[in-house]
A and B are shown apart, each in its own frame.
Chain A
Amino acid sequence: MNQLEISPMRDKVAAELRRAILYGTFAAFEYLSLDRLANDLGVSKMPVREALQILSMEGLVTIRPNHSAIVNKITDDYIRDHFDVRSLLEQEAIYRAAVFSGDCTELRDCCLRADEACKMEDYTQFNIYNSRIHQIIWRFSANQKLEQLLSQMWNTMHIDNYAQKNALASNKEHKEMVACIVDREPQIARQVMKSHVDRSYKMILEIKNHAKDLL
């Protein structure tokens, strides 16, 4: 049975606001009123206030004295900084995973199911297996702090994959990573992970800079 992650309301609110900022639904320097957001999202003010706090720590908004917020300009530098760090930590995690090499049955299974989902064009399923694969690799790093930071970063800037070509290529890399963990090849695992994260980076830059054309 899969573990169910129950995320508190503030995290859900934060995720929704993040998406809106990244996709440009909220413009740079737009004023976000606490009442208005709570009303639009259909939740009470407290989780919205806490969510804005989280986004402020991530550099996405600036909190105003009355607990409302202003949307920061999301620059390409901001996204590059994020992916530089994520790449560093993901590489470290898979390096450690390949050194310790745990039981890869579940990882293999997730890769297979992700492929199936891809062929059926069921991207909701694909995205579930995609995040599951990464979660298992983080756990294999046997470093809870690393796992926690990676999970935090994933939530900060993750955009689901809805293009078959991208999804298949991404899952091909997942399978290579699993092979590296099984064969205890930490250096190669690092390289595969590096290009894998780089793919997400380019995808997000693309979305950010062309979101208006897509919407």
Chain B
Amino acid sequence: MKGLKQIIMMPAREQAAAVLREAILTKKLKEGEILTLSATAAQLGVSSTPIREAFQILEREGLIRLYPNKGATVQGINRKYIQDFYLTRAILESESVVTVCREKAAIEEIIKAFESGKSVVESRKFAQYQDSNQLFHLAIWNAAGNERIKSLLSSLWMGSSMGSNASLETFSNTSLREHEMILDAIVKCDADKAKDSMYKHIIRSMESILTRFE
């Protein structure tokens, strides 16, 4: 249809997987805890199909163990798991911004997502920052145009990388500042700087999450 832009969202299964992944990685869900399809679906307010799919995704990542009756138990994770997870994400996210710069891809959506994050922070609606954060990264993956990287990065998404030591306000401010540096480098097509800022952004998130493991 004319004038209408496609709505960019992750599929329900990936959003559900991201929520559960975050809960496991931040130890809100503890090792050995039992997850059932119906209870999880009810809690997240979705049908059981995306939850079943999300369980499969998480099983492949070694975060849960599935049982034939379709229940699941949470597997234990440690600091090393978090480090491996974020280092791998850093490699892929950095490559994405390099591709955007190299291919001189269209970056309107990235700018728009950044501006939305900025207005959320300026109006102090920090609870909404997470959505803008996701949009910003998603816009970069889309601009980079590699479907495979995009699907791997979706599987490495876990929502907010908030440490135990930060308030939502501090988290949003830090993240937005880093996004600004990344965007600045992208606008200037400075691949090295974009790569470096993105890498640091992800590693900083990792260090922030690791405070939950102390």
Contacts and interface: CB of A to CB of B under 8 A. Distances in A.
A binds B: yes
Interface residues of A, number: 21
Nearest to B60: A152
Interface stretch (A78-86, A128-136, A176-184, A206-214): A78-86
Contact of B56 (A53, A59, A78, A143): A53
A148 B56 contact: no
A145 B62 CA distance: 10
A57 B151 contact: yes
Nearest to B11: A57
A88 B152 CA distance: 13
Contacts of B149: 81, 84-85
B158 to A, nearest CB: 12
A58 B151 contact: yes
Interface of B is mostly: helix
Contacts of A89: 88, 91
B213 interface: no
B170 interface: no
Given A50-B56, A53-B56, A85-B152, A145 B87 contact: yes
Contacts of A59: 147-148, 151
Residue in A84, A85, A89, A144 whose Cβ sees the most chain B Cβ within 10 Å: A85
Contact of A88 (B57, B60, B84, B91): B91
Nearest to B62: A148
B164 interface: no
A144 B84 contact: yes
A173 interface: no
B51 to A, nearest CB: 13
Interface in B66-96: 80-81, 84-85, 87-88, 91-92, 95
Interface string A142-180: 011110110010000000000000000000000000000
B88 A143 contact: yes
B88 A145 contact: yes
A92 interface: yes
A53 B54 CA distance: 11
A50 B152 CA distance: 19
Contacts of A88: 91-92, 95
Interface of A is mostly: helix
Nearest to A80: B146
B81 A144 contact: yes
A144 B75 CA distance: 15
B148 A81 contact: yes
B62 A81 contact: no
Contacts of A152: 60
Contacts of B95: 85, 88
Contacts of B148: 59, 78, 81-82, 84-85
B33 interface: no
B169 interface: no
Given A53-B53, A149-B152, A81 B146 contact: yes
Given A81-B148, A145-B88, A149-B88, 15 more contacts: A53-B53, A54-B56, A57-B57, A58-B151, A78-B147, A84-B149, A85-B92, A85-B146, A85-B148, A85-B152, A88-B92, A92-B91, A145-B85, A148-B61, A152-B60
B87 A143 contact: yes
Given A57-B151, A81-B148, A88-B91, A145 B84 contact: yes
A152 B57 CA distance: 12
A66 B57 CA distance: 21
A73 to B, nearest CB: 13
A70 to B, nearest CB: 17
Contacts of A145: 81, 84-85, 87-88, 156
